[in-house]
Every structure is written in structure tokens, then in C-alpha cells.
Chains A and B, each alone.
Chain A
Amino acid sequence: MKILTAPRMERCIGCHSCSLACARLIHKRLSWDTAGIHIFSSGGLSTGFEATICLACNPAPCAAACPTGAFSQRKGGGVIVKKRLCNLCGECAKACPVDAVFLDDNGEPFVCIHCGRCVPFCPHDCLEMTKTTKTTGESSQMPTEDEARD
């Protein structure tokens, strides 16, 4: 199983192509918020950029905090999201140690599902799909778009 990582953020130019691609392709929105990856400057543009993404916890505290099963543990780390089960309680966002779950005004959660759709939109190769060390014997198949959008 692979997870999204951002190992070369020193190269980031702050174009937001990754987060816009996630919002456009996965969540069918024009937004830089409703995405699984967020880019921000680390204390002003002169100090470069950082990415907020799901770190693929295993076990994932957001899944443990979810009372309805909308967030469930993903093999290899991270979560599988089933939006139709979500009651908009926001516990997932509270539980995330790195603020990687964005809640919109209605409380709908958006988090990286490690699908990798954003990766080719990075012009400087900052992002990478990386095999986790815990994936021996597990499927390396990426989630489908339907799973992602559920």
C-alpha cells in the first residue's frame, strides 16, 4: 500500500496546483480548502512552503474518534472515507495531530485519501507516492475515485 508523502518541499514554489487538483478531481470543487493537501508559507513567503497532508497514521486517531464509521482504518495507514456515513460531528478534525482534516462550513470533512492524483500536478516533483514499510503481503492497489468520493 502506498501513501502520499511530501519529501521535497524545499522545491515548492507555492503554485497550489496540488490542492487545486485534489479539489477539482476528487471532490469536484473549485477550492484550495476542500482538498487533502494544503500549502502554506512557513512564516512569510521568504521562508518557503510547507504542506499539510495526512501522515497515514496506523492506527489513525481520526478513525478511532469517528463515531459513525465514516472514517475507517486504511491498510498501510490513513483512512478510508465514506461520506454518506458522516454525521458532521468534526471529531476527526479534533483528533488529527497535524490538522490535516479540513472541515467546511457545514462540518463536512476533507482529508487526503492517498490516491496520488495530485502528484503529477506538482511541477517540481515535491510529492511522491511511497510504499509503507508495513505493507508486506498487502495490496498496493490505490483507492478508486468512487472510494475517494463516496
Chain B
Amino acid sequence: MKPVIRDHFRVMTVDLAEGRGSVETLDGRSTVAGGSGLAAMLFQRYGHPQKAWDHPAQPLIFAIGPLTGYFPLMSKTVCAFKSPYHDQYAESHAGGRSAMALKFADLDALIITGKAKRPACLSLSSKGLEVSDVHYLWGKDVHASGKALRRMFGGAGHRSILRIGPAGEIGSPMACINVDTYRHFGRLGAGGVMGAKNLKAIVIQGDAIFGLDQGKAYTKLFQRIFDMLTDTDMMRKYHNLGTAANLEPLNTMQALPWRNLKQTTDSAISEVTGDRFADDTLLRNMACAGCPIGCIHVGFVREKFMDENRYLYRQVSYDYEPIFSVGTMLGVTDPFAVLAILDIVEKSGLDVMSGGVALAWATEAFEKGIISEKETIVPLAFGDAEAYKEAFYHFGKGTNDFYRLLGQGAKKAAVHYGGEDFACVLGQEMAGYATGETFFVAQSLGFRHSHLDSAGYTYDQKHDDKNVDRAVNFLLEDEQSRVFLTSMVACLFARSVYTPQVLDECLRTVGYGSLADNMESVSRHIQRQRWATRMATGYDPDKVDIPKRFKQVVTWKGKIDEAYLEHLKGMYAKRIVGLVTERNEKQQS
């Protein structure tokens, strides 16, 4: 049996060009904890800030945390890389079985460098490592690749299979890494990084066994947390309708983006509520390994493919963000049509949020005559699901120059073709929250350009005042608390359960007392390290623009206050820069 608690990190580096790897032990547990903190530390060690994202030497990093596997919902993996989207340091998070498999492969992190000579699959466990030639999988979609990989590698149930589709193979900045069919390292192009490395798939077999000598205190604490998660209402939303429950309330408060954010509410919402998806399309639920909630909602699509009543069916997972991005944002309101589009997107290995929002821009550009079928191949119109299915096929494969440019982001396409005012880009393609100034600024400048960096959308809903200092303080403090969670690595859905007090107990109980003693300073350190890593790769928050479309938005609070928005953006940018300046000064002293 392997020891359970280590005061160091055990990481594996793999050079795809050589087809070999090595295990290293690194200090830093007490200062960067794991997950987000560990990933930043590893990028500082193995990354090349001045080299392009697709340079073979750039690392693709997967990191887990000190609580992975020990408690429920400590089930996420942090993926870190230099992003093909903005050529800067980036993180993306996913669950599935990836975190548990890495834990049971006896690794705190996996670092992949180099470029394979031929399309390759990296398979590893606590006892083995192999880089194998899988040229025959190149060109295959995500589902077909998954089926082949499941046959090729053993260990069903205790392995995690990460793979890319055609979008990743062409290095698209919108390509995701599919994790165990229904989860994704979605945003900022991690799939493109795998493609640039000729890495089609990663199979992680979790076969190590750890001793548990924490005694009854650990068992009792586990039970208490498990009960909080399963016997109270704290996780009801995720267990019941899932995040799709957000659709109706956001529409009611005029905060749901419709048709490229031309509207924030529409009476057609009754066709695409969380209840409609559950009542009509929900087939079953699934969970990440180590999570009893089962928030993954899997719907079905049934298609008649012959007149003589011959049908096929497909299973497609859905959530709020995918429904927003290929549903309301594209004006598609039939749940089955939404799922059919999602199925195409899944197969291609595109990130659905970025892809949907980019196609929404393309649709409006098409409407305005800025682009035509010459670019889009198929005529685009809001609500035309069949056209979107075909468009996503071309988008995923990068069929022509237009789709390849669109894959670099709606803004880049708009700079080339025109229509920058209505490119719904906040650092990257927007998440589905048109809640107001705070969220627009939070996503535009936030570390991951994600709605999960901080709860700006919640702040918008709770505050009517326009107090810049208060809003910026909230964003920075909330980011600091979240970065500690993503260093453990917790699912952020469990943030109401894993309060600082509970995290303190968890860390002490399993044997990380010094981390518990220093949660405040460690989380602040990680926050600064992460920003410093990003800025070393060229990030300048002062250069971030918020397109005109966002300034025209009308929410339940009325029209966006442009002056407040700009003031907030300026102050938040200043404070972010300040975090890094303070860190650098501290290091020098």
C-alpha cells in the first residue's frame, strides 16, 4: 500500500517525442496546495512564457489536489496550458473520472511536453507508461475514438479516457478535451494543444491503493459531509433539474442572452425550460467519480432514418450553458433540436459555449450581409436548427478559411469581416449571464474569462448600488476563495458545503494541518501566482475591450450604465495588476 499523505508533490513528466516519462518529487505542498496553485507552479517550472502556445516544448498540465478522493465532490482536475485562443497561460477544469484516476495513478500532476512523431495515445497507470501510435484514430470523431479506445485499453470503470475530435486535431482555439464522454476541459482550447502535440488521447488507469490511517475522525467527517450533500437541500438544484433550472429565472429577470444578445428575454422560454428538458428529453443522470449528486443530465435524440419506421437514438448530455449557447443564443427553442446540435458539437470536439456564441455572431453578420454563404457554406438564420447542425460540422472540421478564423474567436473574425460591435466576447465568447455590469467586467477580465472565476452574476442580482470599490473587492475576495477550492480540487457546485471551516476540518483530518493553518495566506499566494503566470505570458487587463452590444443590454435593472461599466473595468484591471506588483515587490524584498 502506498502512503496516503505526502508533504511533496509526485508528478510525472512525459516527453511525447521520446515516448518516455519520468517521475519527480517537488516541494511546495504547503505554499501552493495543489490544483490551480500546483498548475501555476508547474507552468513556471516547465512552461515557456515567450514561446508560442504550439511550440512543442510547451507543457500540457493536469493537476489534482490534496483532498482529491478523500471527500465527496473533490472530483475535479485542473488542466493548464498556453492557450491557442489568446496565447497566454490558461486553466480549464473538468471532472468525470479524471481526478480519481490521476489520484489512483499515484500522481499529483501529469505534465506532457514534446510533439509525438505520429498521432499518439498516452496511457499510464501507477505501474506503467506507454506512448502508442494511434494514427488510425486521427480524423475520427470523439464518440468513435472513445469506442475504439475502450476496446484497446482495459480497466473499465477505473480509468479515465481523455480524447479530442477533429477540432482538436486542427489545433482550433475552440477545441475541447472530451473527458469520459460527458465532461470536458472546454474553454480556451486545451483540445487544440493536444492536437498540436499529435496527441489524440490520454488513458489514465487508476490502480494504486492507499492506506487510510486517519481513524474515526476522518470516517465521521466524511459521513457528515456526505449527509450534507445528500440529505439536505444544499445540492437540490444540481440533483433535480440541474443547471438547466437557470433558464427560466434568468429569462424572467431579463438576463438570458437570446439571438446573439439582441434580447435578454423572450416568451419562447416556455419551450426551453429546465422542466421541459427533464419532462421530454431526460433519459438518466450520471456522476463524476466520487460525487453522489449526479448532476450530469443525459437526454436523448431520436432520428428517423428510413421511411419504414427505422429509428436511431443518441444520448447527449445537457446543462444550462450548452442550452444557452446553441439554444437561446441561436434562437433554437425545440429541446430535441438543441440536443441534436449538441450531438454534432460533441462529436467534433468543439467547446460548445464558444462555438455557439461564435455562430450567433456569424448569424447576425449573415443577416446584415457582412458575410454570405460564400463564407458560411450554409445560410444561417436564428432558429434554423438544421442549418446550425451543418454549420457546426464545418466549424468543427475547419472546412474553409472562414470557419478556421471563426474558431480563433468571434472577435478575430469580426476584425476581419466587420461586425465587432456585436461580437459577444468578454475575454472569450460570453457565458450565459446578461446580468449587468459586474458580470460583464468579471468575465472580461477574469482569470479564466469564465462565469466560474467569481460570482459577478450573483453580485449583479443582489446589488442595485454602483459602488465600484465594493464590487471590485467582492470580485477579488470571491476569486481568492474559489482559487483555494480549485486547488483542493473541489467541484464548485459544492462551494456552499465546503466553507472555509469545513475545508479546515478536512485538511486537518487527513493530515494537512499546515495547509489548514495557512488557508488565507496560501489562497492569496495562489491567486497572485496564477495572475503572475498569466501576465508573464502577455496578459494586459487594460487592453480588454467590452463590445458595444453589451452596453446596449437592457436587464431588469434597466439599460447598462456605460460609465459605471468602464469605471468598474478600469478599477478591476488596476487591482489585478496590483496583485502581481505586490507579489513581485514581496519577492524582491
Interface residues, chain A, with chain B CB atoms under 8 Å away: 13-17, 20, 24-25, 28-34, 38-41, 43-46, 48-49, 104-105, 121, 123-124
How far apart are A74's CB and chain B's nearest CB, in angstroms? Answer: 25
Known: A15-B287, A45-B182, A123-B230. A30 touches B150 (CB 8 A): no
A15 lies within 8 A of B4 (CB): no
Which A residues lie within 8 Å of B150 (CB)? 43-44
> In this complex, what residue of A is CB-closest to B289?
A16
Tell me the smallest distance from the CB of B53 to a CB of chain A, in Å: 31
Closest to A10 in B: B284
Is there contact, CB below 8 Å, between B293 and A123?
A: yes
Interface band, chain B? 35 or more
A-B pairs with beta carbons under 8 Å apart, 9 shown: A13-B286, A14-B287, A16-B100, A17-B226, A30-B69, A33-B207, A40-B156, A44-B150, A123-B292
From A33, A43, A44, A121, B226 is in contact (CB under 8 Å) with: A121
Q: Is the CB of B157 within 8 A of A15?
A: no
Contact of B157 among A17, A30, A31, A40 (CB under 8 A): A40
Whether B359 is near chain A, meaning CB under 8 Å from some CB there, is no
A28 CB contacts on chain B under 8 angstroms: 211-213
Does B146 touch A at the CB level, under 8 Å? yes
Contact in complex: A14, B222 (CB < 8 Å): no
Return the CB mask of B1-29 against A: 1 if under 8 Å, else 0.
Answer: 10010000000000000000000000000
Does B209 contact A104, Cβ atoms closer than 8 Å? yes
A14 vs B294: C-alpha distance in the bound complex, in angstroms? 8
Query: In whole Å, how far is A50's beta carbon from the nearest beta carbon of chain B?
Result: 9
Instruction: Kindly list the 10 A-B residue pairs having the minimum CB-CB distance in the complex, ordered from nearest.
Output: A40-B157, A13-B294, A15-B287, A30-B210, A123-B292, A13-B287, A40-B156, A31-B209, A45-B181, A46-B315
Inter-chain contact B209/A34, CB cutoff 8 Å: yes
Name A48's closest neighbour in chain B (CB-CB): B284
B147 on the interface (CB 8 Å rule)? Answer: yes
Do the beta carbons of A44 and B292 come within 8 Å of each other? no
Q: How far is the CB of A45 from chain B (nearest CB, A)?
A: 5
Q: With an 8 A cutoff between CB atoms, is B158 at the interface?
A: yes
A124 touches B212 (CB 8 A): no
Nearest chain-B residue to A104 (Cβ)? Answer: B209
Interfacial chain B residues near A123, Cβ < 8 Å: 230, 292-294
Q: How far is the CA of A104 from the CA of B72 in the complex (A)?
A: 24
**Most central of A24, A32, A33, A121 by chain B CB within 10 Å:** A32
A25 engages B209 (CB within 8 Å): no
Asked if B189 CB lies within 8 Å of chain A CBs, one says: no
Q: Are B104 and A20 in contact (CB under 8 A)?
A: no
- Asked if A13 contacts B285 (CB within 8 A), the reply is yes
**Contact for A32 among B72, B146, B158, CB less than 8 A:** B158
A1→B180 CA distance, assembly (Å): 39
Also in contact, A20 and B4, with CB within 8 A (given A31-B104, A31-B210, A33-B207): no
CB atoms of A29 and B1 under 8 A apart: yes
- Which of these, B156, B284, B287, contacts A41 with CB under 8 Å? B156
Instruction: Contact check, B292 vs A33: say whether CB atoms are below 8 A apart.
Output: no
Query: Does B219 lie within 8 Å of A15, measured CB to CB?
Result: no
